[in-house]
Structure 1
Amino acid sequence: MAQVSVITGGAGGMGVATAKIIGRDHTVVLCDVRGDRLDSAAAALAELGVSVTPVRCDVTDRQAVHDLLATAAGLGTIASVVHTAGVSPSMGDADYIMRTNAIGTVNVNEAFVSAAAAGAAIVNVASMAAHMLPDSVIPSGKFPLALTDADAFLAEMASACGIAPEEARPGMAYAVSKSFVRWYSTSQAERFNGSGLRIVSVSPGSVDTEMGRLEEQAGAGAMVADFAVPRWGQAEEMAELFAFCASPKAGYLTGTDILNDGGVIASMKERARVAAESS
């Protein structure tokens, strides 16, 4: 039976790059909300010899996500899900960002638990932004609400993001939503293991994709130029890590987040330490 990998956000730069790698020996179900982009990406992958099935799906729609995973299961054994779907601060308001990044993650992961066989793995894409906020402003105590009452969760997240000025709330929502992805990928590891499944998250830094470049003028450009590795990360570099985490080679890896940011967070912490000592 075919080994199947589902890639959400499949029309984006990291999604396509991941499909090229995983598609060498897996059937790929490519999911994206943007139908025209999805069809173009699927056609390009098919030309490379990847066995690909495109499925248009909005990850904030729980039923659509269950249908997506059912389609994948109908093609073979679900071996992995790489959940790259998400939006950045420049792409919408705080509620849209939180709903897509946090509730979308819950929908995809919970459908994965129901549909995947033992031995499968899911890789959630968080962000280095999840490593930037002080713990005191991350409403992690309210994060479990996302699994039981999405509306209450979103209300609590809106309240937490309300500490930021209105123009900064999309950025705050992005950091909080990616903190949620990181939290979910660690807190649910024991439950997932009960079904023989692995769950990890990866936190990319500034990546040279269409979405990544949207944030160039909002601070990402300075981070790229002024920290440990002074360049943008490449989608292919992220994809290699995603593919490894999803593969049997990483069979002991679960319940953790991998920061792949070119050393930005390390530089920021060390500079803050030096500044504090000299003040």
Structure 2
Amino acid sequence: MSRVTVITGGAGGMGVATAKIVGQGNPVLLCDVRQDRLDDAAATMRDLGIDATAVNCDVTDRQAVDEMFRTAAGLGPVAAVVHAAGVSPAMGDAEYVLRTNAIGTLNVNEAFFASAADGGAIVNVASMAAHLMPEELIPVAAFPSALTDQKAFLADLLAACDIAGAEARSGIAYAVSKNFVKWYSSAQAERFNGRGLRIVSVSPGSVDTEMGRLEEAGGAGALVMDAAVPRWGRPEEMAELFAYCVSDKAGYLTGTDILNDGGVVASLRERARAAAATP
């Protein structure tokens, strides 16, 4: 029987690029909230001969996510999820960013945990922003409450966004939310393994997509120029990594984050070290 891959954010640049890879010989379910882009993505898949089902689903709505997974299960065993749905700081206020990136990740992963076939894998898209946030500012002590008290969890994360004034709140919320994605993908690895499942996260750098370019003026463009590889990442480069992470070839890979940022974080850290060492 065919192995189904669910791709959230499936109408975005990285989602479509991933579907083109994992959809070779197996059905894919594309999940997104923008119906116009979802229709275009589904048409692209049909033109390529890929068996794609499109579902309009808001990942912040757990009932909608559960229904989406029931639809996926109707296509065959759900063997993989690429959770690429998310928003950037330019797309909304701090609460919107936290709900979409953190609660959305929780909903998709918990639904996958409850319904996936043995041997399945999920890759969660985090961000290099999670690696750039000073460790002392990450409210990691609040992260476990996501599994028990979402109201308190969101309140604690929102409070952590108040450290630099109103204008910076969305950006801080983005970094906090992506740190949660990293934390969850590590902290839940043993629990997922108890169900025969793998879970990892990937932290892309600045990627040449519609959402990525929204942040160009907000600092992403400067970070690209500071990278060891001074260019924007391509969606296809991220997609190849996502596809590998959920494939059987990566059967020993779980509980970790893979930073795929063109060397931005490495370059910034080395420059900071060199500057601190200069008399």
TM-score bracket, normalised by the shorter chain, equals over 0.9
Distance 1:121 1:25 in 2: 18
1:68 is aligned to 68
> Residue 276 of structure 2: SS of its match in structure 1?
helix
Q: Cα deviations across residues 174-232 of structure 1 (Å, max 9, x unaligned)?
A: 00000000000000000000000000000000000000000000001011112211100
Distance 1:77 1:237 in 2: 27
> Residue 269 of structure 1: SS of its match in structure 2?
helix
1:187 is aligned to 187
Distance 1:232 1:26 in 2: 30
1:8 is aligned to 8
1:114 is aligned to 114
Give the CA deviation at 1:145: 1.0
2:173 is aligned to 173
Distance 2:52 2:105 in 1: 22
- TM-score, scaled relative to structure 2: 0.99
Specify every segment of 5 or more residues in structure 1 that has no aligned partner in the other structure, as ranges: none
> Residue 208 of structure 2: SS of its match in structure 1?
coil
Matched-pair identity in %: 71
Give the CA deviation at 1:79: 0.9
Distance 2:97 2:143 in 1: 15
1:22 is aligned to 22
Amino acid aligned to 1:268: L
2:136 is aligned to 136
1:201 is aligned to 201
> Residue 75 of structure 1: SS of its match in structure 2?
coil
- TM-score, scaled relative to structure 1: 0.99
1:236 and 2:217 aligned: no
Distance 1:221 1:113 in 2: 37
Amino acid aligned to 1:87: V
Distance 1:148 1:60 in 2: 16
Specify every segment of 5 or more residues in structure 2 that has no aligned partner in the other structure, as ranges: none
> Residue 24 of structure 1: SS of its match in structure 2?
coil
Poorly superposed stretches of 4+, deviation over 3 Å: none
Contact 2:226 2:267 in 1 (8 A): no
Question: Once superposed, what is the RMSD of the aligned Cα atoms?
Answer: 0.6
Give the CA deviation at 1:100: 0.2
> Residue 95 of structure 2: SS of its match in structure 1?
helix
> Residue 239 of structure 2: SS of its match in structure 1?
helix
Distance 1:276 1:163 in 2: 25
1:251 is aligned to 251
**Across the two proteins, how many residue pairs are aligned to each other?**
279
1:51 and 2:51 aligned: yes
Q: Cα deviations across residues 147-198 of structure 1 (Å, max 9, x unaligned)?
A: 1111111100011111121001100000000000000000000000000000
Distance 1:117 1:227 in 2: 39
